[in-house]
């Protein structure tokens, strides 16, 4: 079949098998072209949320940058003979194939990472195939979570707190800048968002790994988060998402305390803004990102997903790294996004941007291109007019 992008709202309902594989290979090639690491500090790495974005990039850097065995966990939609899989399904397949060719161990488990059943499966694989884990990357992104102990289904709500928020946003497909009014979250919506996106599940994973003696001495774990600038704080850091992110900080300290006897440590890493399915769904964020990308590209400091994660590993996660920590003990690699020169330019454009001048002030086209690349479209060298097997066999 010939696969074309079908976009509905902030999701693409199709993914291109060849394009996804090419996108993964691009990231592998980037890492392979960096200076080879003298040491191999990460022998076994577990990536929770491995199939796209920062999770996939972390797996690529761990495997092809540091020679690590990797176990990845994600929840994907499998293909049929006449319907494509989710992009993450193809990404996992492409990574495993490339790893096998390079002589690296790589296995992906498909299912609900919040469930005890998945934790049991992962523990079995680690015991049988890998050995103790040196690094756990927590990069799960989901709008819902069924609590593994209560059975309750929690749904997150991306809303402000306290009062109605009137703020600028952009319709990504139409390119229309407008102002939206966002209703504040209820207490129940806030609590559900923390239950889905907070640190409890991270704690459950680390508790299981330690109790089953599946962590190596000096094991590290890192959960990814985003803070951004004051332009997005009303909907992000000062909203329901901020409550969840604050709970990650709480979990980080609790996990660190539990790892003391191993010499281990948990950190939250604050990363830069990227285009993802999650960020596309958050009001205001696409407009901010479009302006941000334009400014960072003009100033020559823009990083894509793989280059950003490579910098995280090579400057912050390797042994004896001089970590850039804030007052809360978070690793900060959003320094280039939040530099005064970048933020000053973005702040100056924010009140001025309209539908008519968005192309000059922002990079909405780059946002759209990055969005399509998530699903394997717009990748150089891929023939999108050619027939492909949705089962990903070819």
Answer whether 140's CB lies under 8 Å from 113's CB: yes
Strands (E), 41-175: 44-48, 69-74, 106-110, 133-138, 144-146, 153-155, 165-171
Q: How many helices (H) and strands (E) does the chain have?
A: 14, 13
Active site residue 236: yes
Enter the tokens of residue 358: 């968005």
Rounded Cα gap, residues 187 and 277, in angstroms: 26
Q: How far is CA 193 from CA 141, 184, 200, 229, in A?
A: 12, 13, 12, 21
Answer whether 156's CB lies under 8 Å from 143's CB: yes
Burial class (CB in 10 A: 0-12, 13-18, 19+), 55: buried
- Choose, from 54, 236, 288, 310, the residue flagged as catalytic: 236
Rounded Cα gap, residues 56 and 49, in angstroms: 8
Residues in the chain: 394
Q: Which of 46, 18, 60, 44 is nearest to 307 (CA)?
A: 60
Alpha-helical (H) ranges within the chain are 17-32, 53-60, 66, 87-101, 116-125, 187-197, 200-211, 240-258, 277-280, 285-298, 305-312, 340-349, 358-361, 364-374
Catalytic residue annotation = 236
């Amino acid at each position: 079949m010939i696969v074309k992008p079908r976009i509905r709202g902030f999701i693409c309902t199709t993914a291109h098998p060849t394009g996804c594989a090419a996108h993964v290979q691009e990231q592998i090639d980037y890492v392979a072209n960096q200076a080879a690491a003298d040491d191999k500090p990460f022998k076994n790495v577990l990536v929770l949320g491995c199939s796209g974005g920062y999770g996939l990039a972390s797996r690529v850097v761990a495997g092809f940058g540091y020679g690590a065995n990797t176990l990845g966990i994600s929840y994907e939609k499998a293909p049929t003979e006449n319907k494509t899989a989710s992009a993450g399904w193809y990404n996992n397949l492409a990574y495993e194939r490339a790893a096998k060719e390079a002589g690296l161990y790589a296995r992906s488990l498909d299912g609900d990472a919040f469930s005890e059943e998945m934790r049991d499966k992962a523990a079995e694989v680690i015991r049988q195939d890998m050995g103790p884990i040196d690094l756990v990357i927590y990069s799960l992104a989901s709008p819902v979570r069924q609590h593994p102990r209560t059975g309750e289904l929690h749904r997150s709500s991306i809303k402000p707190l306290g009062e109605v928020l009137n703020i600028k946003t952009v319709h990504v497909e139409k390119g229309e800048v407008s102002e939206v009014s966002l209703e504040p979250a209820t207490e129940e919506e806030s609590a559900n968002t923390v239950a889905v996106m907070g640190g409890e599940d991270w704690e459950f994973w680390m508790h299981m790994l330690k109790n089953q003696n599946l962590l190596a001495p000096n094991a590290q774990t890192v959960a990814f988060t985003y803070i951004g600038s004051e332009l997005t704080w009303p909907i992000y850091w000062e909203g329901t998402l901020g409550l969840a992110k604050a709970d990650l900080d709480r979990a980080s300290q609790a996990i660190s305390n539990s790892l003391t006897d191993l010499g281990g440590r948990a950190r939250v890493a604050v990363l830069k803004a990227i285009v993802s399915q999650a960020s596309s769904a958050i009001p205001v964020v696409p407009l901010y990102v479009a302006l941000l990308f334009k400014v960072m590209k003009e100033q020559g400091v823009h990083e894509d997903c793989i280059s950003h994660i490579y910098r995280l590993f090579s400057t912050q996660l390797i042994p004896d790294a001089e970590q850039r920590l804030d007052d809360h003990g978070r690793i900060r690699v959003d320094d280039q996004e939040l530099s005064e020169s970048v933020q000053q330019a973005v702040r100056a454009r924010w009140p001025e941007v309209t539908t008519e001048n968005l192309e000059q002030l922002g990079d909405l086209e780059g946002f759209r291109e990055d969005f399509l690349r998530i699903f394997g479209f717009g990748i150089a060298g891929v023939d999108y007019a050619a027939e492909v097997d949705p089962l990903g066999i070819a």
